[in-house]
Structure 1
């Protein structure tokens, strides 16, 4: 099987994430795409809402997508989240497959600084999605750059809009908007 791994903070998940997930499944011909909300991020200040809430939003967003599943593999771990370690865990859960690690070009710009990045390139093809204003720092035969549409969505912008009590209905699915309101998320 061809298995994609798409990790991120998903804080919150938005229409851009959802579009990219479907785009990746189709364009890479994946049999399965695993969405992995980060647990304990190794690379940023922890400004994330509770992992269980982010996990639940991802499950809502992809509930009708046959080839997309949401994993709690990082949310349920107390360890710092590193792509390399998560990739090893996924390979143990689904042995003997072809793996595709999905990252944005913003991450590609510093991919060479990731923990065990050379090993990641041996374990999976690293698929880099275009992001405006970034370029990938390294070249490797297992690093694939994909031409994808630039989408004007960002979790940061959504959080800022919520804190200003502005609508986010064009940036997230209706069910995610409702979930955020019911749980009073991202209010200052």
Structure 2
């Protein structure tokens, strides 16, 4: 059965860096669809600047017209903080153990993985695809913690879509798009132009609802 991608984050706001990562991974892994899952109450970082309902709507605006991309409200609808391991467990219960799942991560999130709740179980629930900068060589970086390096080295390396339901790791070199949600929020707070950093539909939504304006 075709694999499915799982892409979580605060998406505060969603921007072209997120969209390009998902698109490249979808092509590289032959993903049938990519689930964009905005965090409702992320437990491992500060509270997002923007309400979860707005962040979900911005994702819906951003991915409109791409048939492979789906906005998933599962974490937004939970009344308690959501861990990625809980989301993947729920997806496994819904889709079955045979469904190939790929958790899509940026390099920074990957390096921070040992701080996540029950992080080793992630490898049992899904394959993991990491977007690394061209020439970065994450596995040889001093930034990678030994528990994570040891865990990855035990896993089946992947170089394409032909793999099982879980347990493989793919490091995918991607051209860097130096766009950050923090930078976008700062630009908007000082009433600057964020055009060409995120889709026009998302920017229109931000202006309509007066998000990220300085107070």
TM-score normalised by the chain length of structure 2: 0.83
Q: Offset at 1:126?
A: 1.2
Write the mapping of 1:6-155 to structure 2, written as runs, cut at 5 A. Answer: 6-95=7-96, 96-130=98-132, 135-137=143-145, 138-139=148-149, 140=152, 141=155, 142-155=168-181
Gaps spanning 5+ residues in structure 2: where? 156-167
What secondary structure, in the 3-state scheme, does the structure 1 residue paired with 2:174 have? coil
Is this contact kept in 2: 1:9–1:48, CA < 8 A? no
Q: Deviations over 1:112-137 (max 9, x none)?
A: 22211111101111111115987543
Rg larger for? 2
Aligned length: 188
Q: Deviations over 1:89-126 (max 9, x none)?
A: 11222223001111111111121222111111011111
What is the rounded CA distance, in whole Å, between the counterparts of 1:131 and 1:162 in structure 2?
27
What is the rounded CA distance, in whole Å, between the counterparts of 2:48 and 2:112 in structure 1?
21
Which residue is equivalent to 1:184?
Answer: 210
TM-score normalised by the chain length of structure 1: 0.94
Is this contact kept in 2: 1:104–1:131, CA < 8 A? no
Which residue is equivalent to 2:158?
Answer: none
Which residue is equivalent to 1:172?
Answer: 198
Is this contact kept in 2: 1:41–1:80, CA < 8 A? yes
Gaps spanning 5+ residues in structure 1: where? none
